[in-house]
Structure 1
Amino acid sequence: MKPHPRQKEQDDLLRPRLTDMIDMRHELAKLTTLIDWDFFEREWAGFFPSHRGRPATSPRLVAGLLYLQHAYRLSDEAVLARWVENPYYQHFTGETFFQHRPPIDPSSLTRWRNRIGEEGAEWLLTKTIEAGRHSGTVDNDSLSRVAVDTTVMEKNIAHPTDARLYDKARRQLVALADDAGVTLRQNYNRLAPRLALQTGRYAHARQFKRMRKALKQLKGYTGRVLRDLRRQLDAIPEGPLRERVLDKLVLVGRLLHQEPKSRSKIYALHEPEVDCISKGKARKRYEFGTKVSLATTIDEGFVVGMRSMSGNPYDGHTLPEALEQVAILTGRTPALAVVDRGYRGHGVLATQVLISGMRRGLTPKLKRLLRRRSAIEPEIGHMKNDGRLSRCPLKGTTGDAIFAVLCGCGHNIRKILAHIRALLTHLIAVFAGVIEALGAENCRANRQSDAPDVCSA
């Protein structure tokens, strides 16, 4: 199952190479030369311990697709559809000739993410940091000065209401009973959906007494189905289906017995680990997802650390882990970290930490760096608007951890591409100025000589 290294393809008389078709001055073509692709060929091969089975997809292809989809905010299906149409995407992923069909199925990206895990995703982030240093996007000295902050990465769930959760839990129990061949005394398929709809109408009309009465009745319907299926559990034979029924019974039992303000409250049946985080925003009081800690350089806003923190921990308790990740990915311990007031009581001693609002012992240079702390906020906004940090489609806490790191990779890729574009524009302007100066010098030389004046022409 180990991925086989690609063999160098011979020239084809009827097919031109991609390097002959595309402009090698393009930003993606330049970025291709900055990333160490051989690293993924070596390291990711360790995720395939078996020597049997079909050879895996090329690690460079998968790494390139993950970079592209998070740099351009694409889904698994969309990045492969655009890969077929775009020769620059194909060159970035290591193709020699233009391909007319997708190289893999979109589901292969899901299996690769599960196989490499958070460690493999952090290797992707490390290579973007190295590419940023090689391209000049980020300075080596700025890696020792970071800004750390947290944000919420929302999960792909609907806004949780008790009526919706109770009715959905009942429908899932009824579906499992049908799969197991269990006949329920009553499934409430006709009464419960109407009651859930009426509960929302009562809430909209601010008739809360009627709403609570309807909600209690809907909860009773779900509890009756739960107890009926539990009584007939012995009729279900041992196997995967019985395990699914047991897991669902436990989950629905937690849902029916949870307190309104319990810390382990369930907000989605397919994502029971989702946290409710209050950020104090006027337009959105609560966000449902997971907390993400990110560290960027103060000068360039380049991501040097990103990690999901399940359980909604206190910001100050996440700072040691964030700085440790920065030291691992960059190879150097940050000398200075600037944070907001939510990080008071962090307990970090190896790194100098500046907290917003500090006044004592600050030099003019440290004051300037502390004022730069707020520069991390627009970087978070770009990750949510231009990247995919606004909503995580991956499942579970493992999916949160992988997706958060990949969002940091996409942000760094966009930074590097913007730097390459700006550098190319600057070089073109310099060359145009040199050519114009040479032309003016030739014109002056022609006026001083007896040669015909062609400058006016």
Structure 2
Amino acid sequence: MTRAPKAPSNFDLNGQGQLSEDNRWVIMEKLIPWSEFEVEYAKNFTSSTGAPAKSFRMALGALIIKERLGTSDAETVEQIRENPYLQYFLGLSGYSNEAPFDSSMFVYFRQRIGVSLVNKINEKMVKNQTEVQGEEVEKKSSDLSEPKNQGKLILDATCAPADIKYPTDLGLLNQAREHTEKIIDALHNQIQSPVKKKPRTYRNRARKEYLTLAKKRKPRQKERRKAIKKQLQYIQRNLTNIEGMGELQLLSKSHYKMLLVVAEVYRQQLSMYEKKEHSIPDRIVSLKQPHIRPIVRGKAGKSVEFGAKLSASCRNGYVFLDRISWDNFNESGDLKIQVEAFKRFTGFYPESIHVDRIYRTQENRASCKELGIRMSGVRLGRPPKNLSKSMKKQAQSDERIRNLIEGKFGEAKRRFSLGRVMTKLDNTSETSIAITFLVMNLSALLRQAFWLFFGLFHNKNLF
């Protein structure tokens, strides 16, 4: 593991000059508390044998570069190989034309750097850069036994859609049937017994029956149910044959895992078919990513999204990931936890909380009132007949403030990768989502650093 240079001027460019101090990657390198989390990251490595592990700075830095540039894993490695500033950001001591690691290492980086560690880095990074403001607040409130409520807390939830095909019952059953056919083929090839014949699967007939309905623009309900019934029968026949063949220990891990997923999909689809229902708990919508669940959003154009639901808070213009789950949840239950997180981060409770209607429950209102926090929105119950101008003005101001976190979500989905999560595993997807929020705050700090640098440069020219 190579040591990070103390300054960009010490970075070896093979006699071709030196790095510029005002480059964005040089500035961002100074904003991240690399050394404070090296020990926690090193706990992932219990064995001393094998190839030496990549440093924490290289692992986190690679994920930040990928998210910042919006490139694929392979393209990110190429960018690092070609750019000396990126190699300096990763902690290398000099420029090398060889890639520091293979693109497959990104999976291990995401697994080793979990959501909790990324959130800690995010909070520590922002807190380090706002310590001066915090000290001023402490001086102003030093005469008080208990600091008054200060600042604004903005809360909201959203969904990070996964990169999957839009799921339909018939489409899922067709994929499940095809996987059972592959498992039968693989198991038959492993057994290699001349006595046992390979079970018939009727795959050509099943495929033809599926396409007959799938190609119809608007099939009738009876036709759809009939097609679903046929696919269920094909899957049941294949699962029975697989069980009869035995020797399941000969299957590879991927085939055995897929067999378990297919069996659960068959159970869910059969239950919905028999009960004539369209919902079931823990419904699987993707065979290759069975952890993904449908998230009902109720918004125009996207009533249902498929991915992880997350609850976030915005403090002083910086956004933090507070909760992430693959199951749907009511975000109003996170308000108390998010208020206490604000207290730990700033040292005092917020003066006001800006939320939408779902957060404005009686329990949350009572909790905020007890802590002296004003919650945005009108009171519960029948609305007053005549709203005063001050109340209307306050409501409009609260709504404008709440728009800040909506803008942050829009930035995360359009500028960064929250709009379509490309990672496939549940833990790697969660890390990827958390990295998005870290990079957003890092970009905000970078803009502030550029303005500070510009101001110092301008004042220097004046004198």
Q: Same fold (TM over 0.5)?
A: yes
Contact 2:26/2:89 (<8 A) preserved: yes
Between the aligned partners of 2:295 and 2:237, the Cα distance in structure 1 is 32
Deviation at 1:331, TM superposition (A): 6.1
Contact 2:180/2:239 (<8 A) preserved: yes
Between the aligned partners of 2:82 and 2:342, the Cα distance in structure 1 is 37
Between the aligned partners of 1:14 and 1:383, the Cα distance in structure 2 is 35
Structure 1 stretch 263-272 or stretch 208-217: which is displaced more?
A: 208-217
Between the aligned partners of 2:357 and 2:12, the Cα distance in structure 1 is 65
- Matched residue of 2:324: which SS? strand
1:381 is aligned, of 410, 414, 426, to 410
- Check 1:215–1:426 CA distance in 2 against 1; reply closer, same or farther (3 A cut): same
Say whether residues 1:175 and 2:182 are aligned partners.
Answer: yes
Size of the aligned set, in residue pairs, is: 423
Structure 1 segment 294-309 matched on structure 2, within 5 A: 294-297=312-315, 299-300=316-317, 302-309=318-325
Between the aligned partners of 1:263 and 1:99, the Cα distance in structure 2 is 53
The residue aligned with 2:143 is none
Structure 1 segment 398-417 matched on structure 2, within 5 A: 398-417=427-446
Between the aligned partners of 1:54 and 1:39, the Cα distance in structure 2 is 24
Contact 1:317/1:346 (<8 A) preserved: no
Deviation at 1:24, TM superposition (A): 1.0
Contact 1:184/1:225 (<8 A) preserved: no
Contact 2:354/2:402 (<8 A) preserved: yes
Between the aligned partners of 1:51 and 1:333, the Cα distance in structure 2 is 45
The residue aligned with 2:226 is 213
- Check 1:293–1:54 CA distance in 2 against 1; reply closer, same or farther (3 A cut): same
Deviation at 1:91, TM superposition (A): 1.7
Deviation at 1:53, TM superposition (A): 2.7
CA offset digits 1:317-342 (Å, max 9, x no partner):
233344455556x3646424321111
- Matched residue of 2:104: which SS? helix
Contact 1:279/1:285 (<8 A) preserved: yes
Contact 1:63/1:124 (<8 A) preserved: no
Gap regions ≥5 residues in structure 2: 139-148, 192-196, 273-277
- Matched residue of 1:23: which SS? coil
Say whether residues 1:40 and 2:37 are aligned partners.
Answer: yes
CA offset digits 1:5-63 (Å, max 9, x no partner):
7387998998138xx43221122212222222211323312222223332211111112
**Structure 1 counterpart of 2:288, one-letter code:** H
The residue aligned with 1:444 is none
The residue aligned with 2:353 is 337
Structure 1 segment 246-325 matched on structure 2, within 5 A: 247-248=260-261, 250-259=263-272, 260-297=278-315, 299-300=316-317, 302-325=318-341
**Structure 1 counterpart of 2:314, one-letter code:** T
Say whether residues 1:6 and 2:3 are aligned partners.
Answer: yes
Contact 2:119/2:320 (<8 A) preserved: no
Deviation at 1:153, TM superposition (A): 0.6
Between the aligned partners of 2:324 and 2:137, the Cα distance in structure 1 is 26
- Matched residue of 1:49: which SS? coil
1:111 is aligned, of 105, 108, 115, to 108
Deviation at 1:346, TM superposition (A): 7.4
The residue aligned with 1:165 is 172
Between the aligned partners of 1:62 and 1:251, the Cα distance in structure 2 is 36
The residue aligned with 1:354 is 375
CA offset digits 1:114-168 (Å, max 9, x no partner):
123222222332343235426989x979995321100011112110012221111
- Matched residue of 1:295: which SS? strand
Say whether residues 1:154 and 2:161 are aligned partners.
Answer: yes
- Matched residue of 2:113: which SS? helix
- Check 1:325–1:164 CA distance in 2 against 1; reply closer, same or farther (3 A cut): farther
The residue aligned with 2:72 is 75
Contact 1:153/1:390 (<8 A) preserved: yes
CA offset digits 1:161-218 (Å, max 9, x no partner):
122211111111121222222654322331223322222223x134443333223222
Deviation at 1:112, TM superposition (A): 2.4
The residue aligned with 2:248 is 236
The residue aligned with 2:209 is 195
Between the aligned partners of 1:317 and 1:309, the Cα distance in structure 2 is 14
2:423 is aligned, of 394, 400, 406, to 394
**Alignment RMSD:** 3.5
The residue aligned with 1:453 is none
The residue aligned with 1:440 is none
Name the TM-score, length of structure 2 as normaliser.
Answer: 0.79
Deviation at 1:383, TM superposition (A): 0.3
Between the aligned partners of 2:29 and 2:419, the Cα distance in structure 1 is 27
Same amino acid, percent of matched pairs: 23
CA offset digits 1:225-268 (Å, max 9, x no partner):
12222233x34347765854762453243343242211322111
Between the aligned partners of 1:37 and 1:389, the Cα distance in structure 2 is 24
The residue aligned with 2:14 is 15
CA offset digits 1:377-429 (Å, max 9, x no partner):
11100000111111223344433432221111111122122223333444555
Contact 1:84/1:102 (<8 A) preserved: yes
Name the TM-score, length of structure 1 as normaliser.
Answer: 0.80
Say whether residues 1:223 and 2:236 are aligned partners.
Answer: yes
- Check 1:236–1:283 CA distance in 2 against 1; reply closer, same or farther (3 A cut): closer
Gap regions ≥5 residues in structure 1: 436-457
